[in-house]
Structure 1
Amino acid sequence: MSFIGLFMQASLLVKLVMLSLLATSVLSWAFIFQRHRALSAAKAEMRRFEDKFWSGVDLSRFYQELSARSHNSGMAALFCAGFKEFMRLRKSANMPPQAIMDGTYRSMRVVLSREVEDMERNLPFLATTGSISPYIGLFGTVWGIMNAFIALGEVQQATLAMVAPGIAEALIATAMGLFAAIPAVIAYNKFSNQVEKLENNYGNFMEEFSAILQRQTAMSAND
């Protein structure tokens, strides 16, 4: 009664259930590793950016340095979008300070939405896997046990040895459903919490950066 042997003895439907759960599990683990790398990189990038930003660097020079890159993400993308829009609106004639700040904040909000959407990529798949995999496995188990008892009813003398392999192969489907679901649920909860923390940090930076730009606008108006 090896796993391969039980799989080969299973009915076609139970085999399809097992194969679909196996494919789902493999895909889930691929997404788990991919999201782990992406969110770890996002946190590292955020720490580097904050260290540089709050070190007292000149904002114009810092913007030029970041703009020279081929791609910016996270807080760097928020900063570039906000500072670019701030400088553009500031050059417009008769532009009220509040309108400048509103435009700058809206520009950063758009980038924030894109960054959060990118960080949440593939998380819905993990949530779906964690929700439905046990039920798919249970369906395979019910179908397998049903077939085992139907076959048992066709013989004159029933023994446990006759029904045990059919029940065992059916229960494997439930085990595979749990094997696919449990890591997906754990990873989804962990990554969702990390995305929420990063989004809060990005939002706090937007508020602090907006306050810095507002002070610059007020100082320019007084001059």
Structure 2
Amino acid sequence: MRGGEAEGEPALTRSEPRTTPRMLLAALVLSLFAAMVWAPAVYAEEGAPVEAVGGMDTAVLATLPHDLSPWGMFLGADIVVKAVLIGLAFASVLTWTIWLAKSFELSGARRRARGAMRALSSVATLPEALAAVGKGDGPTQALVRAADLEMRVSADVSATDKDGIKERVASRLERIEAAAGRRMSIGTGLLATIGATAPFVGLFGTVWGIMNSFIGISQSQTTNLAVVAPGIAEALLATAIGLVAAIPAVVIYNMFARAIAAYRAGIADVAAEVLRLVSRDLDRQATQSLRKAAE
């Protein structure tokens, strides 16, 4: 028997390492199960919202938003977030309005500048240019009229002072050209402002909404995703609308910057053609003066 007991003791000792981890695992599972079952009852006694076995408490469910569409999230958002969303929506509408109006304006102005350039290329004197461009109030007509005015004002100047006359004409043309460029750039600065500030305005709305969400989490004393997610989604909507307003504004601004640069180049070509006509007329007058002096 002693030999049998001696033989059995090592067997019992060898089985302990195999059963100890199982016992620890079973104790851990029982502990977790007890925590899941008893913790809601303890929280219920303290007055905190609880989750029933079949789901959340009906009082918590009643407060959750049911419409998580963009319009539903807007209606359920805080007043500050609503103000941010309304401002960003207005900025987006303003961006597309400027795009539509400025596109028609730029297209017509560039077409008129090309037509004026063709008309000026087909004449030989400044009076003919006045008749060719007509009596409109565009920059082309202003350029030709300014050159003609300076030529008439300087009629009593000696023919040898051609450089002074051309310098004064060029100064007038330069001012008209700059004024046309500034007038065509009206509205594009607003696009740059919207493109630069809209993301930060949307971020402000997001930060404000997330702050309110965290306050709501603290008051409800629950971190259930169904309770937390709607408020965070409403907050992130502000950032999304900010990007929707900013991205088109930046793209449209860059497009208009290139188009306005091309328009200014067209006006500069018209001014250069007018200055060539002035120079040609001055040379013609000088030649006539020399012929009269020779006679």
Q: Give me the TM-score of the superposition, normalised by structure 2.
A: 0.70
Counterparts of 2:273 and 2:128, CA distance in 1: 19
Equivalent residue letter for 1:72: G
Counterparts of 2:208 and 2:190, CA distance in 1: 26
1:203 to 260, 268, 283: 268
Matching residue of 2:57: none
Distance 1:119 1:56, change over 3 A: same
- Check conservation: 1:108, 1:206, Cα contact below 8 A: yes
Q: Give me the TM-score of the superposition, normalised by structure 1.
A: 0.91
DSSP 3-state at the match of 1:154:
helix
Give per-residue Cα distances to partners, 1:42-75, cap 9 Å, x unaligned: 1110121122221236531330454533x223x3
Counterparts of 1:119 and 1:158, CA distance in 2: 55
State the Cα distance separating 1:87 from its structure 2 match.
3.2
Counterparts of 2:242 and 2:102, CA distance in 1: 22
Matching residue of 1:154: 219
Equivalent residue letter for 1:182: I
Tell me which stretches of 4 or more aligned residues in structure 1 moved more than 4 Å: none
Greater relative CO (CA pairs within 8 A, separation 6+): 1
- Check conservation: 2:125, 2:281, Cα contact below 8 A: no
77-86 or 167-176, which moves further after superposition? Answer: 77-86
Counterparts of 1:208 and 1:57, CA distance in 2: 10
Counterparts of 2:209 and 2:81, CA distance in 1: 7
Matching residue of 1:2: 69
134-143 or 149-158, which moves further after superposition? Answer: 149-158
Written as runs of structure 1 = structure 2, the 5 A alignment for 1:52-201 is: 52-56=119-123, 59-64=126-131, 66=133, 68-69=135-136, 71-73=137-139, 75-89=140-154, 91-94=155-158, 96-201=161-266
Query: How large is the Cα RMSD of the aligned pairs?
Result: 1.8
Larger Rg: 2
**Contiguous gaps of at least 5 residues in structure 1:** none
State the Cα distance separating 1:41 from its structure 2 match.
0.6
2:96 to 22, 29, 33: 29
Give per-residue Cα distances to partners, 1:19-48, cap 9 Å, x unaligned: 111111111211111111111011110121
DSSP 3-state at the match of 2:255:
helix
Counterparts of 1:46 and 1:93, CA distance in 2: 32
- Check conservation: 1:137, 1:175, Cα contact below 8 A: yes
Counterparts of 2:236 and 2:206, CA distance in 1: 5
Counterparts of 2:178 and 2:102, CA distance in 1: 18
Q: How many residues align?
A: 220
- Check conservation: 2:95, 2:249, Cα contact below 8 A: yes
Counterparts of 2:134 and 2:172, CA distance in 1: 16
**Contiguous gaps of at least 5 residues in structure 2:** 1-67, 289-295
